[in-house]
Chains A and B, each alone.
Chain A
Amino acid sequence: MGGEAEDGERRLGRVLSFGIPDTALGLVMGYVEDPWDRDAISLVCRHWCRVDALSRKHVTVAMAYSTTPERLFRRFPCLESLKLKAKPRAAMFNLISEDWGGSASPWIRQLSATFHFLKKLHLRRMIVCNDDINILVRAKAHMLVALKLDRCSGFSTASIALIARSCRKLETLFLEESNIDEKENDEWIRELATSNSVLETLNFFLTDLRASPEYLTLLVRNCQRLKTLKISECFMPDLVSLFRSAQTLQEFAGGSFEEQGQPVASRNYANYYFPPSLHRLSLLYMGTNEMQILFPYAAALKKLDLQFTFLSTEEHCQIVQRCPNLETLEVRDVIGDRGLQVVAQTCKKLQRLRVERGDDDQGGLEDEQGRISQVGLMAIAQGCPELTYWAIHVSDITNAALEAVGTCSKNLNDFRLVLLDREAHITELPLDNGVRALLRGCTKLRRFAFYVRPGALSDVGLGYVGEYSKSIRYMLLGNVGESDNGIIQLSKGCPSLQKLELRGCYFSEHALAMAALELKSLRYLWVQGFRSSPTGTDLMAMVRPFWNIEYIVPGQDEPCPEHQKQILAYYSLAGRRTDCPPWVTPLYPAF
């Protein structure tokens, strides 16, 4: 394209932009922050696409292999913030082996060489090695404001120390649930404490890193703006002076009520000091004797995480009834129907509720009352109308309960239900009508997970899901359907579905391929548990350009723990993956 054509384009662009010059257009677009709106803007015409690209501050690449670092830079050269995700979500459930891929190296090399305005980087479920961090720090240390290595692996505390020393403008350091090689105790915390005074968020929650109270207290003293501190295990009585010094702290997670793994004889936590600004808490291993620590602060709490505590149903009730201002609550199902009823009565401002499954190794319950049924589900639906995110594990369910959710929980944008395998008999199956009512009622639903058991959702039910999921972009379905007809029916609807995860559904390869071709917005598919074709070739029906298909087949000596084949397929402009391990077979057309 010669200069004349470009010039002509610009003139046309201005004509079509109603005489608004590019600079003004860019400024107007700058007020549009929602990524979906930006997406719509960029599709109006090429001119607008360019102006949008130059004014876009943040981009999330949900699947790192869907594009290349170079392409990203060519389109968004002025990017200030980038989020990348690589490994499938199933990796968080130990279903994807470590060597599947997801190396951050090519990205970090590109980021370091270009992306001159980049201040914030968030890598999730990727492999980041010490060399990568070295390169990144050398190029960007003077600019980095936020670095999140979220559920990553491959690096050691030496790299964290390097980041701490070099990135003096760092306001956020996030390492949650990463697998980090520990080399020199917790010197990195001391480095951070002495090099940085602007830190607002430090998060190494759910890592195995050691953290001494002395260095943590030093950090809190030196970083007067610290708002969020989420650490690993550290004995609570040792953190008294930390909390005394932390006058701006709003969120704390971690700590422990056990000294070096040994449970301690009861101490009196009734007068434990937390700063008045603190209203988000998650305390590890809190038990009967320690829960009194919360009582003076319960009324002010906005977020409470009891997932990692040793409390009974009754104790959950005692705590929750003192927390009328809760906006986020995370618990295990030991809270029981009774506990959820207390939540429904007390926590009228609740926006986010997560009820995880507790352990029942021997087939029993943590607590006799520690199970959730339709009773608890209905109570929450009726009592907490402000809920936007709701994830729950139930042991029993009825259609009426799901209908109640559809009727009452009008603000839900993310609903996830898992029907546990605990009970042999479920009160009411199938749940077709309940699911239909839920989807029709919750019109703002964008994300939906329904993980049940065979017989819980028939092919007709799947058809309902397809028909009433107008805005749903992400779906996880487990053990649904009766035959291939189900997935075919589903695929005729779901107009907005971009990401689909299926597990244990046993549709045939052929049906899956047909469904993938039919779902018009689908750009990411993950399946575990399906009926293979005799020649293993039925999947080829969905082969097409720019659609990467990975056939994951564990062998005898292969690391995949479930010994079940997986299919991973996603749109990609990057072409073939060049870093597949031997147990991943990529399927591509020949051009």
Chain B
Amino acid sequence: MAPAESGEKATSFAMACSLLSRYVRQNSTAAADLGLAIRAEADAKRTSAEDTQRGETTKETMDLFPQNAGFDSEAAMKEAPDAREPKKRQLTIFYGGKVLVFDDFPAEKAKDLMQMASKGSSVAQNPGLLPSPAVATVTDSTKIAAVPAAPIAVVNAQKSAADIPQAPKASLRRFLEKRKDRLTAKAPYQGSPSDATPVKKEMAEGQPWLGLGPQIANPDLSLCKEGSQ
């Protein structure tokens, strides 16, 4: 069966490519001995620390995506910056609807900043200065990381379902409107007693959600590459 073969071939091809890539990177040090230098493209956004961390043959596009595609050694390297300097961490400030993120913020300065901020917020609230929902929140990123283990409230499931009714696909909805018109125009063409199936009252108005893909298009390569629709 053709689909089975192509699926398996694809994975093994990708694995072969990643092995080849690893070989290339290993050999690049040997190549350096030959006097050939390979450098990553200069990128103003990246700090110099990150540059040396990531090695010499990485490309801009690869750096941005967390998936590794088999680059295990890179994953290990990514861990390093956090472990290296425990005294500097990421600082995030929410202020007036804006977000500011500072990497490698020294812990002491963060403490000072937080003390200053807590003093500042207890000062008289002048409504003229800040818009009402403005909350200044200074969080050390370690606090954010610590939270997920905390117990989480169980959601009131029934209530939530009624809040977001299923939505039909636009094309089908237009057709169903037309069908409704047709039924009201002439005699009902199929009797469907509503007592046959119990229906939730609040759903009577709701439109069904047709959470499906679009009209079936010709399966071309782009479908494989970029997902559904």
Contact = CB atoms under 8 A, between A and B. Distances in A.
Interface of A: 1, 5, 8-9, 11-12, 15-16, 33-37, 39-41, 43-46, 49, 58, 60-62, 83, 85, 89, 92-95, 122, 124, 151, 176-177, 205-206, 263, 285, 307-308, 310, 312, 328, 330, 332, 352, 354, 356-368, 371, 388-389, 391, 393, 411, 413-414, 416, 418, 420-425, 444, 446-447, 449, 451, 453-455, 471, 473-474, 476, 478-479, 482-485, 488, 495, 498-499, 503-504, 506, 508, 510-511, 514, 520-521, 523-524, 528-529, 531, 535-537, 540-541, 543, 545-546, 562, 564, 571, 573, 585, 587-591
A472 to B, nearest CB: 11
Interface of B: 1, 3-4, 6-7, 10, 13-14, 16-18, 20-21, 24-25, 27-28, 31, 34-39, 45, 57, 59-62, 64-69, 92, 94, 97-102, 133, 135, 137, 144, 147-148, 152-155, 157-158, 160-161, 163-173, 175-176, 178-180, 182, 185-186, 189-190, 192-194, 196-200, 203-204, 206, 208-216, 221-222, 224-229
Contact of B197 (A363, A446, A478, A484): A363
B45 to A, nearest CB: 6
A358 B190 CA distance: 14
Count chain B CB atoms within 10 A of each CB in A357, A371, A476 and give the residue with the most: A357
A83 B222 CA distance: 8
A418 B160 contact: no
B176 A310 contact: no
Residue from B3, B69, B208 with most neighbouring chain A CB atoms (10 Å): B208
A62 B227 CA distance: 7
A589 B172 contact: no
A60 B222 contact: yes
Contacts of A310: 179, 182, 189
Contact of A444 (B4, B36, B45, B227): B4
Given A43-B69, A49-B59, A93-B210, A474 B45 contact: no
B229 A124 contact: yes
Contact of B192 (A365, A446, A483, A573): A365
A564 B211 contact: no
Contact of B99 (A8, A411, A476, A540): A540
B92 to A, nearest CB: 6
B17 A40 contact: yes
A529 B167 contact: no
A312 B150 CA distance: 54
A94 B208 CA distance: 12
A330 B228 contact: no
Given A46-B57, A83-B226, A573-B64, 18 more contacts: A36-B224, A37-B14, A39-B225, A45-B25, A49-B59, A356-B212, A357-B208, A364-B192, A368-B192, A418-B211, A424-B199, A451-B209, A471-B7, A478-B166, A482-B157, A511-B148, A545-B64, A562-B167
Contacts of B224: 34-36, 446
Contacts of B199: 360, 363-364, 422, 424
A424 B200 contact: yes
Contacts of A85: 226, 229
Contacts of B153: 483
A330 B155 CA distance: 37
17 contacts: A5-B37, A62-B227, A92-B229, A93-B169, A94-B167, A263-B182, A356-B210, A357-B210, A365-B197, A418-B166, A473-B227, A483-B152, A503-B211, A506-B160, A521-B65, A521-B66, A589-B99
Contact of B10 (A37, A422, A529, A545): A37
Contact of A263 (B92, B168, B186): B186
Contacts of B166: 418, 420-421, 451, 478
Contacts of B64: 545-546, 571, 573
Given A587-B99, A589-B100, A93 B168 contact: yes
Contact of B152 (A422, A471, A508): A508
A520 B72 CA distance: 13
Closest 9 CB pairs of A and B: A454-B157, A35-B225, A62-B226, A589-B101, A40-B17, A60-B222, A363-B199, A359-B176, A8-B36
A588 B133 CA distance: 19
A422 B186 CA distance: 26
A537 B169 contact: no
Contact of A454 (B158, B196, B212, B215): B158
B196 A364 contact: yes
A361 B188 CA distance: 14
B27 A16 contact: yes
A471 B39 CA distance: 34
Nearest to A5: B37
B121 to A, nearest CB: 13
B145 to A, nearest CB: 9
A431 to B, nearest CB: 15
A510 B147 contact: yes
Nearest to B44: A591
Given A358-B176, A367-B192, A449-B212, A60 B226 contact: yes
Contact of A58 (B45, B167, B171, B222): B222
Contacts of A523: 65
Nearest to A95: B167
A151 B227 contact: no
Contacts of A206: 171, 215
Contacts of B225: 35-36, 39, 60, 62
A476 to B, nearest CB: 5
B125 to A, nearest CB: 16
Contacts of B38: 9, 12, 46
Contacts of A358: 176
B92 A414 contact: no
Nearest to A148: B217
Contacts of B148: 488, 510-511, 514
Residue of A37, A330, A389 ringed by the most chain B CB atoms within 10 A:
A37
Contacts of B28: 12
Given A177-B215, A359-B180, A520-B67, A420 B208 contact: yes
Contacts of B158: 454
A420 B199 CA distance: 11
A413 B161 contact: no
A553 to B, nearest CB: 11
A67 to B, nearest CB: 10
B186 A418 contact: no
A225 to B, nearest CB: 17
Given A424-B199, A523-B65, A564-B164, A391 B213 contact: yes
Given A5-B37, A520-B67, A537-B137, A421 B200 contact: yes
Contact of B194 (A15, A93, A362, A514): A362
B114 to A, nearest CB: 16
A363 B204 contact: yes
B96 to A, nearest CB: 12
